[in-house]
Structures are given as C-alpha cells and as structure tokens.
Structure 1
Amino acid sequence: MTHPGTLVLIMAAAVLAPLLVHATGRRIRIPLVIFEIGLGILVGPDVLGWAHPDDVVDTLADLGLSMLIFLAGYEIDFAAVRGDTLRRSMWSWLVSLAAGIALALAISGGDVFEAFVIGTALTSTALGTVLPMLRDSGEQRGRFGAVMSAFGAVGEFGPVVAVALLLSGRRPAESAALLAAFGAITAAAVFWALRPRPPWFARLTELTLHSSGQFAVRFVMLLLACMLGLAEAFGLDVLLGAFAAGVLTRLVLHRAAPASSEVVLGKVEAMGFGFLVPLFYVVTGIEFDLAALLHDPGALLLVPGFLLLVLLVRGVPVYALAPRDLGRTDRVALALFASTCLPLVVAITTIGVDQELLGTDQAASLVGAAMISVLVLPLTAMRLRSGAGARGTGRRAHPPHDGEKGGAKDSEAW
C-alpha cells in the first residue's frame, strides 16, 4: 500500500505548479510541465527526500502517461493532416530515425541496442505538450496548427512503433508480425467507429452527460482499457494502444454524438490533466536520477550534447521537408516545436534502463535534455511566430497541396 504522505506531496506539487505558472507568467512563460517535474525533483530522494514512489504510485503514473498519449491521439484531425503534409511528416521522421540511430551508434561505440534506445528517443515529439500551447494561443485550428499536428502525430506515433519493433526483446520479424496483427485489428475498429451509431447512443450520452451515469465518459474509458489490453496481449508497448484509443474515441464521438463530443472530451481532459497527467510528470521528477547527473561531469556535459542532437536529428529534417507554403520563420518554428520532447524520452529511457541497455547516467542526460527542450524550444517558437505577426491568423500563404483540397472543416480553419 502506498504511503499517504507521498501521494499528498505529489498532489500538492500538482496544485502548486499552476500557481507558479501564474506567478511567473508576467515575466516569462514557463511550461507547466517544467514546474511539475521540478517540484518532483525537489521532494524526491535526491533533494529533500520526502517522497518515495511505490507500486501504487508508479501504476498511477503509468496511467497518466497513457492518458497523455490518449489525449494526443484524440487531438489528431486526420482530415487536416492527410495528403502531402502527412507524407512529408512521415519522410521527415524516417530520416530522423536513420540519422538518430547512426549518430547513436557512434556515441555508443557500436552497441546496436543502446543505439536503438538513444536514436529512437531523439526522434520523438511531445505532441501532448505542444498542442495545448497552440490551442491556448488560438493557432491549433490554423494552417500552422494543422501542419504541426501532422508532424507531431508522426513524431509521437513513430517512436512507439519503433520501440515495439526494436526494443521488444523479440526478433524483428516476430515483432513486425504482431504489430501487423495489432494494426489489422485497429483498422477493423476504425471501420466500426466510422459506421453510424444507433440513435440511442447520442440520446443516452445527452441524458447522462450531467448525471452520475456519465455513459459517454465510461464508454471512452472502456475503449482506452480495451486498446491498452490489446497492446499488452500482443506484447507491444501500451502507449501504442493509448494512441489508437484516442484516435478511435475521436471518430466515435464526432460521428455518434457530435453535439456532446466537446463536453465529453472536457470531462476526460479534467480527469487526465486534473489528476493523472500531472501525477505522471511529478513522479518523473521524483524518479529523476539527479545524483547520477551531478556526480558525473561526463553525464552533465551530455545534456547540452543531447539537446543539440535532438535539434539536428529531429529539427533539421522537419525544416527541410516542411510544406513549401510555410515561410522560413514558420519552418523554423515548426522544427523547434517538433524537436520538443519529454514523455516518450522518459518512457523509452525507462525501457532501456529496465532492459539494461542504457545506463542511468545516460538516461538522466537524455531526460535532462528533453526537459530543457520543453522549457526553451516551444517558447522560442512562439516568440518567432508572434514576432512575425502570425499569432491568431493561421492563414495559408498558398493554395492547399494535393490531398488537401479543403473541405468544410478546412474553410472554417482558414
């Protein structure tokens, strides 16, 4: 059983974090996640030594990570990211993965599995961290927001697939077969989600929306549990199931109960961002190996080195392959946003440490670089966009590319 004091400290840190964001907001905009992780480090074993997570807290933190990836999957509007934009985002990630593994091979001295861990971590994008910033600034529904959603979705989904293939402990052919089977079942679920729902679904959703029944919220949690269980049954990373569940939930709600979908999502977000997600970030700070980082000068020097590698491996391909209708400033901002990483870096390095493929010092360096990326890169990107007079406009500079003809949704966005 968990010590009640630890959970109280975690939730106190979760409450204090937005207060600190508000207090410092007039001087500098610091992402909420930085305070959550920082407070976790403060109360953790390496500083004050007040909080010591156990199995219960770790389980809740895992649920928080799953909820974060689920919400990132829900945010993806495939009508906006199809066609040329999606192809460019996929190619940019594949180039990033090849470059990341190649550079990691040099860093690891030829250790293939260590290179897989480091190289994959360098290619991730913290879509769940970036999209709320764009949404708060009013840019998520514009052209830039749509492009960022595409590049971020691939940067979120690609590393999860790579982990399933490269770090599952099985032969690549076996992992690919299991992944294909999972994909086939998910595709069948998408086909089911696209079918018209019976009228009673929307009626029951509306009737229980503000009652103790909460049918739609319970249905969403069932979808999430089913996809997490399916991924677990196939021996794949549960984050793959969480992302797929978010995509399915969006399809179901928008077709079955469009009038209530935003309210239902608000309730799910309240559960996620109000409890599970901040708990994950605070626990990440508590479990951060600060001692390994501070007592090893080499590990400390790796932090800026890994940050530079993230910008090279992830940012440069994104800048080079960004849609041509984006101006230079927007391409730089897109590269910075796409290079922002943390949740999957934590997850991938945890897998690497658990499988004894990565040392705790290297894991701490990678997570430290990812924390700096969350602190520095989105703020720099937002200032670039604001300085160019782009905030809140989101207009296209040129007509849409192939596969992006612009339906009703597009005309509203632009």
Structure 2
Amino acid sequence: MDHPGTFVLIVAAAVLAPLLAYGISRWLPVPLVIFEILLGILIGPDVPGWAHTGQVIDVLSELGLAMLIFLAGYEIQFDQVRGDTLKRSVGAWLIALVLGLVIGTLLAHGGGFDKGVYVGAALTSTALGAILPVLRDAGDLRSRFGSVMMAMGSVGEFGPIIAMALLLSGRAPARSAALLAAFAVLTAAAVFWALRPKPPWFSNVIAKTLHSSAQFAVRLVVLLLVGMLGLAQVLGLDILLGAFAAGLVTRLVLQGAAPESSGTVLSKVEAMGFGFLVPLFFVVTGIEFDLEALLGGGRVLLLLPVFLLLFLLVRGLPMWLLAPRDLGRRDRSALVLFGSTALPLVVAITTLGVEAGRVEPGEAAALVGAGMLSVLLFPLAGLRLRAGGRAGDGPGGEGGARGPARAGRAERVRGSESW
C-alpha cells in the first residue's frame, strides 16, 4: 500500500517545479520537465529516501504517461506537414531507425534485439513539445524553418511509437503488421467519423456544458482516450499507440464539430494533464531514476555522453542529409540540434523497457540523463545558429530563401508551453 506521505511529496514537487523554472528563467530557460525529474530524484530512495512508489502511484503514473502521449498526438497538425518535406522527414527518420536499431543492439550488452529496439527507438525520437515553445518565442514557428522542423519533429514523435508497436509485440512480423493494420483501419474509421459533419445539437451540447458540471466535451475526450487505449490493448499493441491515435482523433472531432469551443476544451484537458497527471509521471520517473548506478562510474556513466552524441548522430545526421535544399548550412545545423532534442519519449520508452525487464535501470538513467542534457543544450545552440545566420545573410546569401521566414517571425505566435 502506498504511504500517504509519498503522494504529498510528489504533489509538492509538482507545485515547486514551475516556481523553480520561473525563477531561473531570467538567466536560463530550463524546461519544466527537468525540474520535475530532478525533484523526483531529490525526494527518491537514492538521496534522502523519503518517497517510494506503490500500486496507486504507479497507476496514476501510467495515466500520466498516456495523457502525455495523448497531448503529443493532439499537438501534431498533419495538415501542415505534407508534400516533399514530409517525404524527406519520413526518409530521415527511417534512416535514423536503421542506425538506431544497429547501434542499440550493439550497445545492448547481452540484452539482444529487444533491448536494441528500446534503445534505438529512443534515439530516433524528437521532443517536439519542448521545441515548439522555443520556436514560438523566436517567431520561427510559421517560418520555412519552422515548417520543416514541425515535419521532422512530428515524424520523430509518431515514428518511434509505430516502431515499438511493430518490433516489440513478441509476435511474428507478419502478424504484428496485420494487427497494426487492423488498428489503423479502426483508427481511420474513427477519423472518418470525426470528419463527418455533426448535427447542430452536438456542438450546442458542447457549448452549453462547457462551463457547467456536465462538461460533455471533456468527458467525450476521456472516452476517446480510454477507448483507443482499450482498442490497442485488445489488439496486443502498446498503449502509447492508442494514446497517440486518441490525440489525433480528438483534435479532428473538436475542430470539426465545435471549432469555437475547441481551444477552451483543450485548455481544460491540458489542465487535467499538465496540472496533475503528466507532472506526476515525471516526478515518479525521478523517484525511480537509478542515480546510484549513474554516479557509480563504470559503463553506465560512460553511456551518458555516448547517448548524447548518438542523439546527434542517429537522429541528426539523416536530417542534415535529407533536409530540403532551400535550407542553408546554418539552418541545417540548427535543424540537427533541434531535431536531436529528446526527452519525453525517451522517458516513456525507457520506462516501458525497465517495466518489461529489457532495459536495466542504470542504462535507462543514462538515456534519460542524456535526454535532459539535450533539452538543456541543443535548442539554445540551435537558436544561436539561427541568429547568426540571420545576421550574416544578405539578399543573395546562404539564407536567401528566408524571406518567408522573416515574414513569419514578424507574426509572434502566442501559446502555452507544453511538456
């Protein structure tokens, strides 16, 4: 049974994290998730030993993971990711997957291909939710660079989830592909329903209950999430896939049926997710973080800088090679840095790997630690490259194709920080 003091400590850490992030933002913009994980470490068994996980906290943490991936799916706007840029993004990720599987298996240290899949999938991920606020603040979200980064980042969030569903089911590849196809068909049916015009009463109920105790739209969102999670589980697929698909379907439903209310509904769902479940997941991740193994030296400590470099090699190199030709050298380098930023999916994937007994806690700690460093270092370096490129480019220089980018930067996009 969970000790009630542990739950109080976890919630207190979740409250303290944004205060710390706000306080230090005057000197350094540190993502909130870093403080949530660090505070979890500080109250966990490897430091004072105040907090220990239990059955109830583990269930809430799983819900937080599902909500995290759900909001990631909602965040992706596939209508803005298309054409040649999408093809290049998929190609870059597929190359990264091959590199990640090979390197992950070589680093598996006797764990075999399954461990290699967990490690390799983590190396191909992109923390799009951590990057978007940075691009918003820089005015780059609607620039040419921002649209390419959105495409690369979207595939970097969606791809690892598909890879894990295909490669880690324990079934024959043909059967896994058939079940994944069945899930895709059922998801497509949900999308078809979401895109169909809804009767007037549907949007009226959403609007009338938006600020009442009924909260029809929020309950519908929860039903879609639980339904897609259940469908994935029945088909033997990973819950990450169900949560991600639920986010995609929910976006279509809300924007199609009640576009004037979709922003308010999303804010309510984000309040439930980012206000409680998601920070709980990250604090619990910190509590379960194997700090002793990481600081004990040896192979685990050595893996941390190795994984940090592998993010750049596995995820970044293919992006450099397949980036659209109208991006100059500095923008390509910035794309590599932004695209190699990885943490939320790394935490999610390593959590599942440890629970399955395929990834050792020390290795998971090294991967998560490298992800934390990537979030701290790569976006700032990418911004400096972008700033230097804008300052040095003339009308016909390397950034000659950046006229639309400058126009995009003129329109500041306001939005709340996610992840």
TM-score (norm 1): 0.90
Q: Is the 8 A contact 1:337 1:381 kept in 2?
A: yes
1:356-395 equivalence runs, <5 A: 356-389=357-390
**2:50 is the counterpart of 1:50:** yes
Counterpart for residue 15 of structure 2: 15
Q: Is the 8 A contact 1:76 1:150 kept in 2?
A: no
1:120-131 equivalence runs, <5 A: 120-131=121-132
Partner letter of residue 162 of structure 2? V
Identity of aligned residues (%): 65
Counterpart for residue 269 of structure 1: 270
Counterpart for residue 408 of structure 1: none
Q: Is the 8 A contact 2:70 2:244 kept in 1?
A: yes
What is the alpha-carbon distance in structure 1 between the residues aligned to residue 383 and residue 218 of structure 2?
A: 33
Counterpart for residue 6 of structure 1: 6
Shift of 1:326: 2.6
The change in CA–CA distance for 1:140 and 1:214 in structure 2 (over 3 A counts) is farther
The change in CA–CA distance for 1:396 and 1:178 in structure 2 (over 3 A counts) is farther
Q: Is the 8 A contact 2:93 2:124 kept in 1?
A: yes
The change in CA–CA distance for 1:399 and 1:185 in structure 2 (over 3 A counts) is farther
Q: Is the 8 A contact 2:353 2:359 kept in 1?
A: yes
1:7-406 equivalence runs, <5 A: 7-108=7-108, 111-389=112-390, 397=401
Shift of 1:143: 3.2
Counterpart for residue 408 of structure 2: none
Secondary structure in 2 matching 1:260: helix
What is the alpha-carbon distance in structure 1 between the residues aligned to residue 262 and residue 144 of structure 2?
A: 23
Q: Is the 8 A contact 2:136 2:412 kept in 1?
A: no
What is the alpha-carbon distance in structure 1 between the residues aligned to residue 281 and residue 146 of structure 2?
A: 26
Deviations, residues 68-95 of structure 1 (Å, cap 9, x unaligned): 1111111111221011111111101000
The change in CA–CA distance for 1:139 and 1:100 in structure 2 (over 3 A counts) is same
Shift of 1:331: 2.1
Partner letter of residue 159 of structure 2? G
Shift of 1:334: 2.0
Q: Is the 8 A contact 1:299 1:365 kept in 2?
A: yes
What is the alpha-carbon distance in structure 1 between the residues aligned to residue 232 and residue 99 of structure 2?
A: 28
Counterpart for residue 404 of structure 1: none
The change in CA–CA distance for 1:296 and 1:16 in structure 2 (over 3 A counts) is same
Secondary structure in 1 matching 2:107: helix
Aligned residues: 400
What is the alpha-carbon distance in structure 1 between the residues aligned to residue 368 and residue 127 of structure 2?
A: 13
Shift of 1:193: 0.9
Shift of 1:61: 1.3
Deviations, residues 4-38 of structure 1 (Å, cap 9, x unaligned): 21111111111111111121111111111111110
The change in CA–CA distance for 1:69 and 1:109 in structure 2 (over 3 A counts) is closer
Deviations, residues 226-264 of structure 1 (Å, cap 9, x unaligned): 111111111111111111111111111111111111111
Q: Is the 8 A contact 2:137 2:412 kept in 1?
A: no
Shift of 1:413: 10
Partner letter of residue 252 of structure 2? L
What is the alpha-carbon distance in structure 1 between the residues aligned to residue 272 and residue 174 of structure 2?
A: 38
Partner letter of residue 40 of structure 2? G
What is the alpha-carbon distance in structure 2 between the residues aligned to residue 134 and residue 108 of structure 1?
A: 35
Q: Is the 8 A contact 1:71 1:128 kept in 2?
A: no
Partner letter of residue 4 of structure 1? P
Q: Is the 8 A contact 1:100 1:119 kept in 2?
A: yes
Q: Which moved more, 1:90-99 or 1:55-64?
A: 55-64
Unaligned 5+ segments in structure 1 are: 401-411
Counterpart for residue 409 of structure 1: none
